[in-house]
Structure 1
Amino acid sequence: MDDMLPRCLLAIAGPTATGKTGLSLALAERLSIAILSADSRLVYRELDIGTAKPSQTERSQAPHYLIDIREPTETMTVAEYQRSAQTLIQQLHLEQERVPCLVGGTGLYISSVVDGLQIPPVAPQPELRSQLQRLGQPQCYSMLQQVDPVASDRIHANDAVRTIRALEVAYVTGRPLSAQQGQHPPDYPILYIGLDCEIEALAARIRRRTAQMIEQGLVAEVEQLCQRYGKDLPLLQTLGYAEILGYLAGNYSLPAAEELIVKNTRQFAKRQRTWFRKQAIAWFDADSVDLLEDVWQTIKTFWAQVNQAKTSAPKP
């Protein structure tokens, strides 16, 4: 299959802990791919264990991009991610040595590329964000419902990051975020693959991975981040880190923190599932013994269709 690498894109998405990284690495043994991370936290250095970041050994199995490209104190906007991903995809298409493969669970990151989202060019406003954060999420979400009801329907009531971003765009530009968004899908073929499994099976996967993170030293990782950047580092308020921060503050025991991570991760996975189920995705059972072969056959069929369309296209 590598003799004629088509100008296309593969995307592997789905809820957390469904084995997206493992599948991408298994595919890398059969196909020349370059893995482009589509995870909003993998872009940050030093956040390794709590984000389930691919190890150096795993990254040596195939070229990985969009990992460790920001300091923990910096901000990576969706627009910046989109530009970086689009540039990499263009370069890979020109080189024709590897097929770009988006892999991750951040739906907005993937959609920014796959759907070609139009993203308002509004830089982060630290002072405005600080003011909004002090108001609290319930009040901010209520404000969003008044300022941009369309956006509020798309944003979960507990999603503080997206709520504040929508308010930020509205206040800076004077126009609702929803009115500034549109889509310009790329002109190359895309195979969008999704991994999922039964709810209880996913819960077991999340529990195993959480225990593994604790064993690998998640507590020490959080302690180091606190020492270097302070407890107010925004990334320490995210899933897996906030719960350990609470343990270090003496609010509860480590086993209780572990249970909180499991609970909150399950809720996060539920939101991811809701997001991805709205997309045009070819779904596969993450627990199927034939997963790799089934995905491989789908890729080969897609590949044949792409090459056929290319050869049958009229000459300019």
Structure 2
Amino acid sequence: MPLKSLIAIVGPTAAGKTDVAIELAKIINGEIISADSMLVYRHMDIGTAKPTFEEMQGIPHHMIDLVEPDEEFSVAMYQSKAEQLIDDITRDGHLPILVGGTGLYVRSVIDHYDFTPPAKENRLREELKSEAARVGAEAMHRKLSEVDPESAERLHPNDLRRVIRALEVYYQTGKTISEYQYIRKEDPPKYNLKMFGLTMDRQLLYKRIEQRVDLMLEKGLVDEVKNLLKQYETWGTALQGLGYKEIVRYLKGECSLEEAAETLKRNTRRFAKRQLTWFRADQRIHWLNMEHFENKKAIAKEIKRQMAGDLLTT
């Protein structure tokens, strides 16, 4: 039985992935599956740069607005839903296009990740909770960085539940939680996959990031965060998203709006750098420098050209 075809468009934040994917979907009869961990949350639109109904241009977008900001959403849940969507879209005669910058979400779909957790060990968990109560969340995060720097980089120090879980998995299995999850590298490919990465000069990307932050503030990011704080007592992981934690500090009086904006720009630049590091390590990605193309339609046409005789004929 032939493998299902899958296109992936990845790259750093503010690179223009969604715009290019929409243009591509229009010319290859595609549907977009978001691989952005923040787009799953409802009511978080401005700070996530969520595409509007008009911006979608009639192209079906999936994995957006799935849960409330105070609900948890895991990569295991994402994997299950995205894989089912690929089946459904393919069955309908369309091409699925996986689009986003959340590296683990992308890999959970294209590679053989198994998110079945080791059994919880109540005694160990309680010991870690007691230690956290004694030394604080930041100390536990530092402890995690010593044994599992990858997870520590991904997790916010205040996300104590996940920090404790990552420590628990390491102490139980002797493996980091990432190593535990990615256990079947030798298996055959899951999909007939074609991956494209969008890139540009680093300084140009940083300029786009700064312009995006300014636009978010113009569109009403502060009011969006203010309304979310009124509506939800707790936000879970959503509170740690770029564009939200910085504005929360401003609303709490811990900094000025100008300082919050500068911090957001700095944090987003650092995030983009981490995304590039993650994706550059994947040799399957065909990189396209956006500065070499006239516009997003030209990039979409180049992607189609590179796919010709491959995905489009399977």
Q: Find the residue that maps to 1:251 and give its secondary structure.
A: coil
Look up the match of 1:32. 29
Change (3 A) 1:179 1:257: closer
* 1:275 correspondence with 2:278: yes
Alignment RMSD = 2.8
Look up the match of 1:237. 240
Do the aligned partners of 2:111 and 2:189 also contact (CA within 8 Å) in 1?
Answer: yes
For 2:219 and 2:261, locate their aligned partners in 1 and report how far apart those are by CA, in whole Å. Answer: 13
Change (3 A) 1:54 1:123: farther
1:142 is aligned with what amino acid? K
Change (3 A) 1:29 1:131: farther
Do the aligned partners of 2:196 and 2:286 also contact (CA within 8 Å) in 1?
Answer: yes
1:105 is aligned with what amino acid? G
> Post-superposition shift, 1:234?
4.0
Change (3 A) 1:191 1:284: same
Do the aligned partners of 2:12 and 2:276 also contact (CA within 8 Å) in 1?
Answer: yes
1:113 is aligned with what amino acid? V
1:65 is aligned with what amino acid? H
Instruction: Out of 108-117 and 34-43, give the one that drifted further.
Output: 108-117
Change (3 A) 1:213 1:123: farther
* 1:300 correspondence with 2:305: yes
> Post-superposition shift, 1:112?
0.5
> Post-superposition shift, 1:31?
1.8
Look up the match of 1:140. 141
Look up the match of 1:80. 77
1:302 is aligned with what amino acid? M
Do the aligned partners of 1:28 and 1:61 also contact (CA within 8 Å) in 2?
Answer: no
Q: Find the residue that maps to 2:253 and give its secondary structure.
A: coil
**TM-score, L = length of structure 2:** 0.84
> Post-superposition shift, 1:181?
2.6
Do the aligned partners of 1:141 and 1:157 also contact (CA within 8 Å) in 2?
Answer: no
Q: Find the residue that maps to 2:98 and give its secondary structure.
A: strand
For 1:23 and 1:31, locate their aligned partners in 2 and report how far apart those are by CA, in whole Å. Answer: 12
Q: Find the residue that maps to 1:30 and give its secondary structure.
A: helix
2:279 is aligned with what amino acid? F
Do the aligned partners of 1:138 and 1:157 also contact (CA within 8 Å) in 2?
Answer: no
Superposed counterparts of 1:172-191, under 5 Å: 174=173, 176=175, 177=177, 178-183=179-184, 184=187, 186-191=189-194
Look up the match of 2:251. 248
> Post-superposition shift, 1:133?
6.8
Look up the match of 1:167. 167
Look up the match of 1:288. 292
Look up the match of 1:314. none
For 1:229 and 1:305, locate their aligned partners in 2 and report how far apart those are by CA, in whole Å. Answer: 47
> Post-superposition shift, 1:218?
0.2
* 1:50 correspondence with 2:60: no
Q: Find the residue that maps to 2:309 and give its secondary structure.
A: helix
* Aligned counterpart in structure 2 of residue 113 of structure 1, from 78, 94, 109: 109
Look up the match of 2:7. 10
* 1:266 correspondence with 2:269: yes
> Post-superposition shift, 1:174?
5.0
User: Residue by residue, what CA displacement relative to the aligned partner does 1:217-262 show, whole Å, maximum 9, x if unpaired?
Assistant: 0000000000011366542232111111111112222122111110
Instruction: Out of 159-168 and 23-32, give the one that drifted further.
Output: 159-168
For 1:124 and 1:48, locate their aligned partners in 2 and report how far apart those are by CA, in whole Å. Answer: 35
> Post-superposition shift, 1:51?
0.5
Do the aligned partners of 1:114 and 1:185 also contact (CA within 8 Å) in 2?
Answer: no
Q: Find the residue that maps to 2:308 and give its secondary structure.
A: helix
For 2:37 and 2:265, locate their aligned partners in 1 and report how far apart those are by CA, in whole Å. Answer: 20
Q: Find the residue that maps to 1:9 and give its secondary structure.
A: strand
Instruction: Out of 295-304 and 193-202, give the one that drifted further.
Output: 295-304
Do the aligned partners of 1:118 and 1:181 also contact (CA within 8 Å) in 2?
Answer: yes
Q: Find the residue that maps to 2:212 and give its secondary structure.
A: helix
Identity %: 38
For 2:116 and 2:130, locate their aligned partners in 1 and report how far apart those are by CA, in whole Å. Answer: 21
User: Residue by residue, what CA displacement relative to the aligned partner does 1:18-56 show, whole Å, maximum 9, x if unpaired?
Assistant: 000111111123121110000001001011100001111
> Post-superposition shift, 1:75?
1.0
> Post-superposition shift, 1:71?
1.2
Instruction: Out of 34-43 and 237-246, give the one that drifted further.
Output: 237-246
For 2:118 and 2:53, locate their aligned partners in 1 and report how far apart those are by CA, in whole Å. Answer: 35
> Post-superposition shift, 1:187?
3.6
Higher relative contact order (Cα pairs below 8 Å, separated by 6+ residues):
2
* 5+ residue gaps, structure 1: 1-5, 311-316
Change (3 A) 1:70 1:272: same
